[in-house]
Amino acid sequence: MNSDRLPLENNGCGGEYHKNKVKSIWILVLLGLVLAAAVLLSLWAGSYDTPVTELLRGIVNQANDPKINVVVQNVRLPRICTAVIAGAGLGVVGCVLQSILDNPLASASTLGVSQGASFGAAFAIIGLNAGAQNGGGLWISLAAFAGSMGVAAVILGLSRFSQITPESIVLAGVAISSMFTGATTLLQYFADEVELTTLTFWTFGNLGSAGWGQIRFMLLVVLLSSVYSIFHRWDFNALLAGTETAASLGIHVRRMILINMVLCCLTASAIVSHVGLINFIGLVAPHIVRRLVGNNHVYLIPGTILAGASLLLLGDLLARTVVSPVILPTGAVTSFLGAPLFLYLLFKRRKGVC
């Protein structure tokens, strides 16, 4: 990217800045390597006596053992792709929500956006019987989107346009989440056996059931929101300087917040309706990356995409291997690991550190 290159004359003094930039780029490269390693590890886990090269050949259906081909193509690869795409998407959503709401505790799951989506999806399955119909998937996704938008409207109403602290917004999110979780539980009373299994699997979050069609759909949505936010990286930077300064730099702040909120809901609901509730990835990934590269969205957004994907992949790896051969629900594992981090962030904010 030539855009961030420095004129030669500048390299003499203020080399500190140059060092900082190089460091940020190296951290992005490192995060990319971590992701690659996590992908390899996920591919390998569970078939430790097979050479990795054989597994890699399985990706293009060229393994010597046809059984490997089947395992890689039908089980491992879809799961890995789902984790990478969903993790990246949740990361981007968390990063964007934290910026536009000016709230370091924001993410799809802490604000209740995911829970709204999950309720919408459950409603479509039980209320509209969408699970059994042809093309029901579309209805489920639409209902999930509507649910998340409902929550987003409440959050927006509470945050930018009135004077409420970040902690209160998260409290409101907790209230909204438990309301929707409760509503989803109530819905289960009206569900039959089949619907019930679909629902329970969802409330936990599971990466093992998305088919290639669904993966492609998620990829499309996550790509859309990632490219959009990377393209507008300097708009987010401007917002860091305050809404008034952002407006004075030519940014329509309200319009920007609304567009991004809709994109976040779209992405979160697309992910929730295919893999269920996965908590804390979107909250934690931006924080880890911010620690490493600071608040400049030029590095923060790509970093969060990579970190989110790696985190979910590693969480899933744990879920698959910790009590192997039993596969734990991935969402439960990420909650278990993410919640302490969330508490840590809350505690640190109290002391005014972040």
Partner 1 sequence: MLRVKDLKFHYQGGQQVLKEINFKLEDGKFLSVLGNNGAGKSTMLKCFNRIIDPEAGSISLDGEEICRMPMREAAKRMAFVAQTIPNTQMTVHDMVMLGRKPYMQWGFTENDHRIVHEAMERLGLTEMRGRFLNELSGGERQKVMLARALAQKPKLLLLDEPTSSLDLKNQYQVLQTVRDICHETGIAAIMVIHDLNLALRFCDRFLLMRDGAVFRYGDAHVIDREAIWQIYGVQGETADVRGQKIVMVD
Contacts with partner 1 by CB under 8 A lie at 1-7, 9-10, 13-20, 231, 234-235, 237-238, 240-242, 244-245, 247-252, 290, 294-296, 298
Of 18 and 348, the one with the shorter C-beta distance to partner 1 is 18
Of 14 and 66, the one with the shorter C-beta distance to partner 1 is 14
Shortest distance, CB of residue 104 to partner 1, whole angstroms?
11
Shortest distance, CB of residue 296 to partner 1, whole angstroms?
5
Q: Contact, 147 vs 124, CB < 8 A?
A: no
Q: Contact, 144 vs 272, CB < 8 A?
A: yes
- Eight-class DSSP state of 254: H
Of 130 and 251, the one with the shorter C-beta distance to partner 1 is 251
The CA distance from 260 to 236, in Å, is 10
* Listed residue (92, 56, 40) closest to 221, CA to CA: 92
Shortest distance, CB of residue 164 to partner 1, whole angstroms?
18
3-state secondary structure of 182: helix
Q: Contact, 123 vs 245, CB < 8 A?
A: no
Q: Contact, 217 vs 266, CB < 8 A?
A: no
The number of beta carbons lying within 10 Å of the beta carbon of residue 321 is 15
The CA distance from 57 to 21, in Å, is 38
Of 3 and 162, the one with the shorter C-beta distance to partner 1 is 3
Q: Contact, 269 vs 115, CB < 8 A?
A: no
Shortest distance, CB of residue 19 to partner 1, whole angstroms?
7
Span between the terminal Cα atoms of the chain, in Å: 31
Shortest distance, CB of residue 230 to partner 1, whole angstroms?
10
The structure tokens listed for 307 are: 């970190």
Shortest distance, CB of residue 16 to partner 1, whole angstroms?
3
Of 88 and 238, the one with the shorter C-beta distance to partner 1 is 238
Shortest distance, CB of residue 293 to partner 1, whole angstroms?
9
Of 127 and 242, the one with the shorter C-beta distance to partner 1 is 242
* Listed residue (91, 84, 92) closest to 225, CA to CA: 92
Shortest distance, CB of residue 342 to partner 1, whole angstroms?
20
Q: Contact, 115 vs 277, CB < 8 A?
A: yes
CA distances from 128 to 153, 187, 195, 207, 285 (A): 24, 12, 12, 25, 36
Of 2 and 162, the one with the shorter C-beta distance to partner 1 is 2
Of 175 and 354, the one with the shorter C-beta distance to partner 1 is 354
